[in-house]
Amino acid sequence: MLDKNEIITVALTPDYVYTEGKDQDVVWKDLGRTLCNESTDSDKGYAWSAYVNGELVYSTDGKVENAYYGYGDKANYVPKNVDDTYVMTGKGAQTEIYVDDGDATVTVVEINYYIGEVTRVSDDTITVKSLSLEPARLNIRTAKAAGYDVEDLVVFTVDENEDDDFYICEVFEPDTATGTIKRVESNTDSEDSYVRFEVGGDKYSYSGNNHIVYDLDNLNVKEHPTLEEEYTLYRDPNGYVLAFELAEDETLNYLYVKDSDEEMMDWVAKVIYADATTAKVDVKESLKGTPNQYNNFYDLDKNGKGDDVGAPYDKVHWMAGAGYQKNVHTSIDGMVWKYSKNTSGAHTLSWADGVYLADKTVTGVATDPEIDIYNGRAYIGDGRRVIVDQKTVFIDVENEKSYTGYDAVPNVKDAELIYVLDRKGVADVVFILDGAIYDDGFYFTLEGSARESWLRGGKGGDRYWHYTKSYVDGVKEDVYVDYTNAGGDKDELVPGVLYKATRIEEDGDISYIEKVEVVADFRDVEDTEAYSALADENKQNMRVSYARKNGYSFSLVDANSHKELQYTTNADTRFVLVEETYKRDGVTHDGWTVSVGSINDIEVIDYDEKLNTYVTVAQEDGKEVAEVVYILKTNTRYPVEITAGGTTKTYWAEMTKWEDGRRPEATLDVYDADLIGVTIIDQKITGAIGTLTLTNGRLTGDITINENVNDELKIEVETTDPGDKPATDKVAIKANEGVTYTVNGEPSTATSVDVKDGETVTVVATLKDGYKWADAAITDKTWTSAAAKGGETITIPATEKIPVTFDLSLTPAYTGAKVYVNNVETLADETQMTADGDTRIWKIAEGAKVIVQLPDTATVNDVATVINGVNVSFVSATKRAELTMTGDVTLSKIPGTADRVWNVVVEDGVTVTWMNGATDVSDKVVEVGENTYQVPESAGVNGIKVKSANTSGAIVTDDKDCMLASAAASWTVAKGAANDGTINLSSLDKAKTIYVYAASKIELKDSLQALDIMGMTALGEETTVWARPGVTLNVYTPDAPAAGGTDRRKGDGIIVQYGADDVKAGFNPHNGEFKVTEEDITLRQGWKVTLNGVTATVKSTGETIESGMRVANNENIQVKIAEENGKKVGTTVVKNMTGNYVTGSVTTQAVDTDVQVTARVSYTAATKVSVAANKAVTVKITESNGMLGTLVATNGTTNTSETDFYVLPGEVIEVDAGAQTLEVTDGTDPVTDGVNLAGGTARITIKTTDLTLTYS
C-alpha cells in the first residue's frame, strides 16, 4: 500500500471518504459485509491496514506495537455492525478508504488537519509552530512552501518518513469566513459546538478536540467567541473551525478597571480603554474564561502575589476577608480584562491573563528587579524582561494617554504595570499604573514663595497659583500651577524643593501645570526616606565626597553609599546651581539662589567656602547620560549613628562655627521618642573630638572637627536597650460565612488579633439572617467565646444555611391529588402539610421539582401557563401538573383550553406591543425571561405591533430558522411589516414557539418577483418581502416563459441597491448571492455592459459604470473614450467588437449622446484605418491563434470607395502595396509615429490617430 504522502499526491481515488465522525455500523453498511470480513487469506476475506498521520497503526497480520498515533488494542480498526463511533473518523480528520479487490486489501488512511503559525521563512522553506495540541509528536517542523510570511497561519497535515520521523506533509492557507457572531451552541465541547453568523444561518462547526485552538488570543481555552462581535474563523479544507479571532484590532480590546460598584443590583465600572479613553460602563455579572482561582493586584506580598478574590471566580462580586470591606473592592478592580459589548453598551469581561509587575521601589524588596521603560528599547525591566514591539500599546492610566510601539512610549522610571502577552510572548498591551514619566514635563524650583491666585479663563474658570520667583532649568520663568492638584490637596509649593511638572496642558503661550511631583528636598538633604526620588535614591541629594570631571563626563562617590556613579554629558545636558544663603552669622538660613550651572560646580566639601556639595541627577536617558543635573551647595552636616536596642539610626549634626576654614565645630540637637529611657554606654568619634549626652530622648553635644577629615568624620554612640516593652503575640480567630462578630466589642473581620502579655481577647458572634447553629444545643442568636490569651485560637461554632421553602397550596379543585417531590416515587412529606379550611398547603424546598398527580377522573388539557409567577405545565396524557418551586403558588383550578399560553421570543433590538384588534393588551402578557414572553390564550392577542431599532421592520414566524417573510401576509409560515405596523397572527401555529426578528425590506422591480429569490414559489408573485439581516440570499433573472406565458426577462443579471439611493448600475452578485444588511434593499434586472478603453455613466443618476456592471433595462447611458495622461486611448467607440480588430459592417457609437440599454452590449475604443479608394493594398495582423492572418485585401478595382476597418491601439499591422511606394497619412499629412516604412511595405503600431493607407 502506498504511504500517506503518496496517497495525497498521486492520482489515486479513494472508494470512500468521511469528513466527520461516523458510527461503525454506518461504515460497515457502506463497505458491506464482505469487505469487513477480515482475513489474511484472500479467499476468505480482506486484509486490513490503517494509517494515522502516515504511521501504520494496524494491520491484519497483527496490531502494530507502540504505534504513537494508535487508538489502543481495544479499538476496532475494522468496523463492526455496532452503534458507536468508528475510531478512524472524526471532525478535523479526513478518512479515506481504498479497496483493492485484486489483492483483497482494504487500506484506511486518516489525514488530520492542524493549525499552526509560521515562525521562520528561508527562501521557499518555512518553519511551523503547531498551535493545535496535536500533533504531540512532530520531529521535523519545516516544509517547502512559497509565499508565506512570519506570523502567517497555516493548516498542515503530518506524515511519517522512512526514518520514523513525523514531518509536515502539506501546508496550505486556512479557509476564512468573517462575520458577526449571532448564535453559539451553548456547550463548548468541541465535538458538538458551532457558531452562526446569522440567526438560523449556516453552521460553522468546530473541529475536533486537540485540533481546534479556539481564540487565537487565548489559545486552547474552551470559550465561545463573544456574541455580537465580528470574528474571523479559520477553517480546514472540510470547513471545520480550527481557530477564531476578533476581526477588529484585538490589541484595543482591553480595558483596566479603575473601580466598580453595584447600582440597583447591576454592576458598573470606571474603566480606561487601550486607546486611553475613559468611561463609566455597565458590566455583566458573569465573567468569561476565568481560571478556577485567581488573585487580584491589591496588597501584594513580596512575591508580587495579591489576595485570592474568592468564589465565585466567574462572577463579579464584592471581596471580603482581612483588609477588605464590602463596597470597597470587587473581584474585577485593579485588573486588566478583555471585553466585548452588546448593542446597549453593556460590557462582558473576559480573562486576559494580565501579569502584574512592579519596580523594587514599589514592592520594597531589594532583590526585586528594576522595572523601567525606555523609549526605543524593545523590552521592559532588567532581569525579568517583558518583550515589546512596535505594535505594543502602552496606556498611561494616570495621565490617560496611549502610545503605540516602543519608539512612541516615553521613558518611565520605577514603573508599576500590568501587561498581557500575545501567543508569541510579546506584550499586546501594557497598562502603566504608576511611575515617573520623564518626557511629559520639566523641572523647576522656587527662590521664594511669592504667588498670586489666578482664574484661568476668567470668572468661573479653574484656579491656579501664579509663581513669579520660579526657575526652570536655572532660568527665571513664571509657572502656573493648578490650585488643587499641584502639591496635593491644595498644598502650596515652597522654596528649596526640586519639583517636576508631570502633567502639563499647553494653552497659548502658557504651560499650565496640572500636577507636580517632588524630586528632591534641598531643605533636608540627608532625609532620604522622606522623599522618594524619580531615579535610584542614590542619585538624589548625593553628598559629593569625591569627584572627577573631564569636560563632558563626571564621576561621583556618594558619601552615603560610597558607591561610585559615573555619567557622561553632552551639549544638551542642563546644569542648575541651587545655593542656600545664610544670615550674617553664617549659620542661620536666609533663602535660596538659583542660576544656570555647569559641570565645574560639582565639587567636594569646600571648607574655604564653608559649603558642602550635593548632586541630584534628575533625569538621565537610561544609558548613563545625564540630561538634567541639579547642584546644591549648603552648610555641611555630619552623620551621627545611634545604636539602641540593636537598631541603628542616623542623625545629622549641623555646622555651627568655622575657624579660619579649619577645625570647624558642629552642634547636634535631635529628639527621638524611641530614645526615651535610653542612656549612652559608649561613644566613639572618628576625625573629631567632643562628647554627646542623651537625656529624655534628646541627644545633644558639640564637637570640634579635625583638619581635612572630609567624609572621614563618624560619630558612633551605643546605648542601653530600651526599657522593657510588653511582648506581643496573636490570638487566631476561625470564623465561617454564617456569622458576623466583634472582637473586644469592636466589629471585625480579622482572622487574628495582636495582644500583649497579660491581655485577653473575647469574640461575640451573631448569626446572619438565613443561618442557624449546626449545634442545636446553641439556642441564642449570639455566641460568646471564652477569653483567650496570646497563642490561643478562638473557633466560632459551625453554622448551616436554613433551607428556603415555598408554599404549594391546593384548593378543593385538587381533592384526591397527590404531591410528589423530585420524582414520582417520593410523596411530599405529609408532616409538612397544613390546612387552611379546605385548602391543603405544603412547604417544599426552593428549586424542588413537583408533580401534582390528579385523580383518574380529572379532565386535563395540555396547557403551559404561569401561576403566581411560577411556570406550570398541565399534561393531559399523564393527568399531571408539573412545576419547579421558585415561589409560593396556589393551584385553584384545573385550566381549560382558554387558559393555554403560547411562547414568544423577541430578538434584541426589537420591541413589541401586544394587540387585540386596535387595543393594547400588553398588561396581560408575562415576560418570563430575557426577551421571552408567555401569552395567555385568554388575553385575546391576535396581532403584534413591531418596531426594530436597527431595521425598517420585523417579521413574525413560527419557524425559528425562517429567513424570509411575506409582506402581503399570504404566507402562513412568516409575516412581515414595517415599523409600527401590526402583524396578524391568525395563521401561525401557536403550538410552536413564535419568534419576532428584525427584518429589512426587499423591493423587487423590473418584473422581478419573490419567486425569483431562492425559488420561493410560496411567496409567488409578490414584489415586496422582508428578510433578516445577515442572511445570504440567491436571486436570478427569470427563466424563459412557458408557451403563452409572460416574458419577465429584463436583463441578464441583477442589480442590488442598499439604502434609499436610486441605483441603476451594479455588479451582478457572485453566484446570484447577496447579503441582507440592516438597510432596505432594492433588486432590479439589468444588462451587462462591457467597456474597453471607454468610460460610461448612467444619464439619470450620474453613476459611473464599471466594465462588467449591469445597467437597468431601458436606461440611457453616455459613453466616452477613456484618457491616459491627458490623451484619449482611441479614436472611435465600436459597439460589440470582438477580437483585436473588426472589418465589414461595423456599428460605432457617438460619444456624449444618449444610448438606451436594451440588451447585453460592449463598447471598445479603437482606431480607424482606411485603405484609399482604388488602391490595391493587403493588410495583415496577428490573430488570436498567434498566426498572421489577412485583415483586408483590396484589388484597386472594385474598391471604388475607402475601405475602413478598426484596430485596437497597440496592435501591429503589416501592410503591403506591392511595387507601389506606400504612404501612411492621417488623411492629409504623413504619419511617422509608430510607422516603419520600406518602399511598398510598412509595419505599423496602431496608436490613437486615424490612418489612411495610399500611394501615388
Flag whether pLDDT at 336 surpasses 90: yes
Same domain, 605 and 571: yes
Which of 133-137, 875-879, 998-1002, 1048-1052 comes out lowest in average pLDDT?
Answer: 133-137
Question: What is the count of structural domains for the chain?
Answer: 8
Residue 384 CA to residue 371 CA, distance in Å, equals 8
pLDDT of residue 186: 59
Residue 384 CA to residue 210 CA, distance in Å, equals 32
CB contact at 8 A, 882 and 891: no
Flag whether pLDDT at 653 surpasses 50: yes
For range 790-818, the mean pLDDT: 90
**pLDDT tens column, 567-577:** 888 888 888 88
Q: Which of 67, 89, 112 is the last residue of a domain?
A: 112
Strands (E), 854-898: 863-867, 870-875, 880-884, 889-891
Query: In 3-state terms, what secondary structure has residue 31?
Result: helix
Within a domain: 701: yes
CB contact at 8 A, 1098 and 1105: yes
Same domain, 547 and 473: yes
For range 181-192, the mean pLDDT: 69
pLDDT of residue 636: 63
Residue 655: pLDDT band by 50, 70, 90 thresholds?
A: low
Q: Which helix (H) or strand (E) covers residue 572, if one does?
A: none
Q: Which residue has the higher pLDDT, 326 or 176?
A: 176
CB contact at 8 A, 666 and 614: no
Q: Which residue has the higher pLDDT, 74 or 767?
A: 767
Residue 5 CA to residue 7 CA, distance in Å, equals 5
| Burial group, residue 988, by CB count within 10 angstroms (0-12, 13-18, 19+) | buried
Same domain, 1092 and 1153: yes
Same domain, 279 and 426: yes
Residue 488: pLDDT band by 50, 70, 90 thresholds?
A: very low
Flag whether pLDDT at 409 surpasses 60: yes
Same domain, 195 and 259: no
For range 977-985, the mean pLDDT: 89
Which of 641-650, 727-736, 864-873, 1112-1121 comes out lowest in average pLDDT?
Answer: 641-650
Q: Which of 44, 29, 32 is nearest to 82 (CA)?
A: 29
Within a domain: 610: yes
Residues contacting residue 154 through CB under 8 Å, at least 6 positions apart: 115, 116, 117, 118, 126, 128, 145, 148, 171, 172, 173, 174
For range 265-288, the mean pLDDT: 88
- What is the full DSSP assignment across 187-239? ---TTT-EEESSTT--EEEB--TTT---BTTSTT---PPPTTSEEEEEE-TTS
Residue 291 CA to residue 354 CA, distance in Å, equals 12
pLDDT of residue 483: 73
pLDDT of residue 537: 39
Within a domain: 348: yes
For range 414-421, the mean pLDDT: 90
Same domain, 491 and 614: yes
Q: Which of 585, 606, 634 is the last residue of a domain?
A: 634
**pLDDT tens column, 672-689:** 767 776 777 777 777 677
Flag whether pLDDT at 701 surpasses 90: no
Residue 502 CA to residue 512 CA, distance in Å, equals 11
Within a domain: 74: yes
CB contact at 8 A, 233 and 240: no
Residue 1252: pLDDT band by 50, 70, 90 thresholds?
A: very high
Residue 309 CA to residue 295 CA, distance in Å, equals 6
Q: Which of 1153, 1191, 1166, 1144 is nearest to 1091 (CA)?
A: 1166
Residue 965: pLDDT band by 50, 70, 90 thresholds?
A: confident
pLDDT of residue 530: 31
Q: Which residue has the higher pLDDT, 186 or 458?
A: 458
For residue 698, what are the β-bridge partners? 671, 695
Range of 336's domain?
A: 251-438
Whether the model pTM is above 0.95: no
Flag whether pLDDT at 430 surpasses 90: yes
pLDDT of residue 856: 87
Q: Which residue has the higher pLDDT, 888 or 898?
A: 888
For range 54-59, the mean pLDDT: 91
Flag whether pLDDT at 536 surpasses 60: no
Q: Which of 389, 411, 438 is the last residue of a domain?
A: 438
Q: What's the Cα-to-Cα distance from 1001 to each of 861, 1022, 1023, 1030, 1084, rounded to whole Å? A: 40, 12, 10, 13, 14
Same domain, 68 and 106: yes
pLDDT of residue 1032: 86
Same domain, 748 and 698: no
Flag whether pLDDT at 527 surpasses 80: no
pLDDT of residue 337: 93
pLDDT of residue 584: 64
pLDDT of residue 8: 35
Same domain, 685 and 561: no
Same domain, 378 and 355: yes
Q: Which of 838, 840, 874 is nearest to 859 (CA)?
A: 874
Within a domain: 897: no
For range 587-601, the mean pLDDT: 80
pLDDT of residue 237: 94
Dihedral through CA 358, CA 362, CA 368, CA 373, nearest 10?
50
CB contact at 8 A, 777 and 860: no
**pLDDT tens column, 243-265:** 998 876 544 789 999 988 887 66
Q: Which residue has the higher pLDDT, 390 or 527?
A: 390
Q: Which residue has the higher pLDDT, 1091 or 827?
A: 1091
Same domain, 454 and 496: yes
Flag whether pLDDT at 11 surpasses 50: no
Q: What's the Cα-to-Cα distance from 609 to each of 393, 537, 634, 658, 1125, rounded to whole Å? A: 52, 27, 10, 10, 81
Which of 143-157, 383-397, 1137-1151 comes out lowest in average pLDDT?
Answer: 383-397
Please give the mean pLDDT across all residues of the chain: 82
- In whole angstroms, what separates CA 605 from the centre of its chain? 59
| Burial group, residue 812, by CB count within 10 angstroms (0-12, 13-18, 19+) | exposed
For range 527-535, the mean pLDDT: 33
pLDDT of residue 722: 54
Q: Which residue has the higher pLDDT, 642 or 741?
A: 741
Flag whether pLDDT at 1025 surpasses 50: yes
Within a domain: 258: yes
Portion of the chain with pLDDT greater than 90, in percent: 29
Q: Which residue has the higher pLDDT, 735 or 582?
A: 735
| Helices H / strands E in the chain, number of each | 3, 104
pLDDT of residue 608: 52
**pLDDT tens column, 354-365:** 888 888 888 777
Within a domain: 26: yes
Flag whether pLDDT at 539 surpasses 70: no
Residue matched to cell numbers 478595382: 1197
Flag whether pLDDT at 1206 surpasses 90: yes
Residue type, position 992, single letter: K
Same domain, 1075 and 1203: no
Residue 304: pLDDT band by 50, 70, 90 thresholds?
A: low
Within a domain: 811: no
How does DSSP classify residue 759?
A: -
**pLDDT tens column, 1134-1188:** 999 988 899 988 999 999 999 999 999 999 999 999 999 999 999 998 776 667 7
Which of 70-74, 292-296, 988-992 comes out lowest in average pLDDT?
Answer: 988-992
Q: Which residue has the higher pLDDT, 295 or 548?
A: 295
